[in-house]
Structure 1
Amino acid sequence: MENVVYFIGAGPGDPDLITVKGRKILSEADVIIYAGSLVSKEHFQYCKGDVEIHNSASMTLEEVIEVINNSYKENKKIVRLHTGDPAIYGAIKEQMDELEKLKIPYQVVPGVSSFTAAAAAIKKEFTLPNVSQTVILTRVEGRTPVPEKEDLERLASIGASMALFLSVNMIDKVVERLRKGYGRNVPVAVIQRATWEDQKAVIGTLDDIAEKVKAENITKTAQILVGDFINCEYDKSLLYDESFTHMFRTAKDENSSN
């Protein structure tokens, strides 16, 4: 069987939130390149004793590809272990492009993203009937620019539920732009290191969230969740409404005594 490089999402923090498939592949790996402090080292207790481990935090793209290429030539099983889900701010496209140039086959194994972990941490649902059926994942510009058409004010004006990555260190700028976009005060939650043992969560509104974030000294590794879904009235879903029919259930007879 031809060897394959695996890009695996390790989940948001809790090592048990990696998928069963991801852990199985990880346990068989000969070489692991993992995303530094963002990935729990507890994952390595499930690995082989002689596994070769590289921390990509100190590596360039070229160095990562060199390790993969050399290991692949030696027919070693290689795992590129990313935080959360690798498809979201994972910078995997540039790695996959390089592997294609080298004709090295690869697969992507998805993981639990930090934005869904953050919603779970505060026990909220992004998509409430008659509130929001859309979730926007975005960030404010830092060293990586954001396309002008994806300006935060413009996205906020839609009124959808939002999850902001990589932005908590600019919380004042975030609040200012969200206020302009939403045009009103809306609920906001900030969750730092969701699912880790030292998880922190603060809930407020645009009026006070910046102050609360600073009081808790939250400066990195946090999700900013924004929208009415955090605290609002909502309609119940039709999915479980006894008068709503679908292929698995017929409506109860109005004259039935059951």
Structure 2
Amino acid sequence: MTAKVYIVGAGPGDPELLTVKAQKILSQAAVILVADSLVPEQILQDVRSEVEIIRTADKTLEDILPIMVARVRSGQTVVRLHSGDPSLYSTLHEQIQALLAAEIPLEVIPGISAFQLAAARLQVELTVPGLVQTIILTRISGRTTVPEREELASLAAHQASLCLYLSARHVDTAQAQLLQHYPGETPVAICFRLGWPEEQICLVPLAQMAAVTQRENLTRTTLFIISPALQAGLARSRLYDPEYSRLFRST
């Protein structure tokens, strides 16, 4: 393998949900820098015994970057392992900018995001014809602020399938803003540590979202899915309707 930094999405936590490419790269890496507070230990179960594993939960970018740069310049293959997909809430942007500035080659390997595993676990489609055709991935303002134009209350006005990340510590505020537009009986899936051994999913009405989250003490690694699709009932797309003509089938 080429000496460079591979920024790899580990998926939500289940090693069997790693992509084939991610598994291949992990198995051949010389150095793995893992976001260990968010990536479970079992993701590393098949790496080589001689691989250098560096845990980064207690490190800053200023700590991490020199390690990646030095290892690549010495001819080693480096994996920066993130939870979920690197394009979502992963500090991907700042790492890419720093690596490019240091003239370090890199490649990004996508991963399954928690909202995708949640839909699979719940056996639902989040874009049901005639009911909801939009998915919003967002978070509520906390220590990291959200631009004013993206405040949760304004996004909730669309009544789309809304996937709420990194918001469990502010669940009271989130619920209040969501209730400005979604009916109180709108179903919510509270998904804790999807893909981890301690995975937990609760399906509750929106009006009970905060109370259940707090009762179960779910303060970290929790995703909320708020969507009418969670109780869609009977619905059918036109794609496989016998009366619907398309490129590969004529009526």
TM-score (norm 2): 0.96
Matched position secondary structure for 1:182: coil
Q: In structure 1, what is the equivalent of residue 9 of structure 2?
A: 9
Q: Distance in 2 between matches of 1:44 and 1:221?
A: 19
Deviation per CA, 1:177-215: give whole Å up to 9, x if none: 000133654211101011222111111112222222222
Matched, 1:95 2:95: yes
* Worse overlay, 102-111 or 168-177: 168-177
Instruction: Verify the 8 A CA contact 2:128 2:229 in the aligned structure 1.
Output: yes
Deviation per CA, 1:142-199: give whole Å up to 9, x if none: 1100000001110000111100000012111111000013365421110101122211
Cα displacement (A) at 1:47: 1.4
Instruction: Verify the 8 A CA contact 1:33 1:53 in the aligned structure 2.
Output: yes
Cα displacement (A) at 1:239: 1.4
User: Which amino acid counterpart does residue 25 of structure 1 have in structure 2?
Assistant: I
Q: In structure 2, what is the equivalent of residue 144 of structure 1?
A: 144
Instruction: Verify the 8 A CA contact 1:168 1:222 in the aligned structure 2.
Output: yes
Instruction: Verify the 8 A CA contact 1:130 1:234 in the aligned structure 2.
Output: no
Matched position secondary structure for 2:130: coil
Q: Distance in 1 between matches of 2:209 and 2:44?
A: 37
Within-5 A mapping of 1:43-58: 43-58=43-58
Q: Distance in 2 between matches of 1:220 and 1:234?
A: 34
Cα displacement (A) at 1:248: 1.8
Q: Distance in 1 between matches of 2:200 and 2:45?
A: 26
Q: In structure 2, what is the equivalent of residue 31 of structure 1?
A: 31
Q: In structure 1, what is the equivalent of residue 161 of structure 2?
A: 161
Q: Distance in 1 between matches of 2:84 and 2:174?
A: 23
Matched position secondary structure for 1:240: coil
Matched position secondary structure for 2:180: helix
Structure 1, unmatched stretches of 5+, are: 252-258
Q: In structure 2, what is the equivalent of residue 254 of structure 1?
A: none
Instruction: Verify the 8 A CA contact 1:7 1:108 in the aligned structure 2.
Output: yes
Matched, 1:193 2:206: no
Instruction: Verify the 8 A CA contact 1:10 1:85 in the aligned structure 2.
Output: yes
Instruction: Verify the 8 A CA contact 1:190 1:225 in the aligned structure 2.
Output: yes
Q: What RMSD, in angstroms, separates the aligned Cα atoms of the two structures?
A: 1.4
Q: In structure 2, what is the equivalent of residue 255 of structure 1?
A: none
TM-score (norm 1): 0.93
Matched position secondary structure for 1:115: helix
Residues paired across the two proteins, number? 251
Matched position secondary structure for 1:146: coil
User: Which amino acid counterpart does residue 132 of structure 2 have in structure 1?
Assistant: S
Aligned in 2, Cα 1:45/1:227: closer, same or farther, shift over 3 Å? closer
User: Which amino acid counterpart does residue 92 of structure 2 have in structure 1?
Assistant: I
Q: Distance in 1 between matches of 2:60 and 2:241?
A: 54
Moved over 6 A (4+): none
Aligned in 2, Cα 1:129/1:234: closer, same or farther, shift over 3 Å? farther
Matched position secondary structure for 1:49: coil
Q: Distance in 2 between matches of 1:19 and 1:52?
A: 22
* Worse overlay, 7-16 or 210-219: 210-219
Matched position secondary structure for 2:181: helix
* Worse overlay, 107-116 or 35-44: 35-44
Instruction: Verify the 8 A CA contact 2:139 2:164 in the aligned structure 1.
Output: yes
Instruction: Verify the 8 A CA contact 1:140 1:152 in the aligned structure 2.
Output: yes
Q: Distance in 2 between matches of 1:138 and 1:165?
A: 6
Q: In structure 2, what is the equivalent of residue 244 of structure 1?
A: 244
Aligned in 2, Cα 1:204/1:62: closer, same or farther, shift over 3 Å? same
Q: Distance in 2 between matches of 1:245 and 1:3?
A: 50
Identity of aligned residues (%): 39
